[in-house]
Amino acid sequence: MTPRTRGLAFSLLLGPFLLGLSGCTGSDPAPSSYLLPATAPTQQYPTALAITVAPIGVAGHLDSDGIVLQLNDIEVYQARQHRWAEDLGKQLQQQLRQRLALSLPRAQVVGKGQPLLGGVPVRDIRIQVSRFQGHHDGMALAEGQWQLLDGRGRLLKQAGFRVEQPLTDDGYPALVRALAAAWDQVADQLAAELSVGWR
């Protein structure tokens, strides 16, 4: 374990541990809740493509309020005092929609099931996230698989993704920002795939 690794694990884990000890002598502190940072809206232009984003599937160990830290190759820790303020899958879907709209200003980007404009090609994005957590090497990790389908549900392409983003500071706020930056990179990869052949 490198000094940076020890520093990340120490700073992320020691804080909740000490808070737990202080709870033995007084009232428990309120947990901290986090949202992924919002992406600024962009100006829309005449639509040339309609994109639907299906609800994001997340692995079982991510399907909880606690922000996850991977301690080593097999062990994960779910924080008790540092939680997602909203369902992680919903946040990821919203962030993906916002980032795609920013990257593809001529596309209508909506959630699956919402009304679409007629007369333009339709693409459906489906994503399963297997890792979205802090990593013991001092990185934020986003990993999973995406599928791109046409408007009739036919699979056009699928691929795995793994994005690592270094933390700029210690602590959970820095981890959340790094995770958001990693997710933006996933969205940018998808935007590049979507832009092929219609721009």
Contact 147, 155 (CB under 8 A): yes
Domain extents for the chain? 3-195
Low-confidence stretches of the chain (pLDDT beneath 70) = 1-28, 40-46, 197-199
Please state, in angstroms and rounded to a whole number, the distance separating the CA atoms of residues 109 and 151. 14
Give 100-133 pLDDT, tens digit per residue. Answer: 999 999 899 999 989 888 888 999 999 999 999 9
- What is the dotted CATH code of the domain comprising 3-195? 3.40.50.10610
Residue 140 tokens, joined: 């934020």
Within 13 Å of residue 180, how many CA atoms lie on the same side as its CB?
Answer: 19
What token pair was written down for 120?
Answer: 């333009």
pTM over 0.75: yes
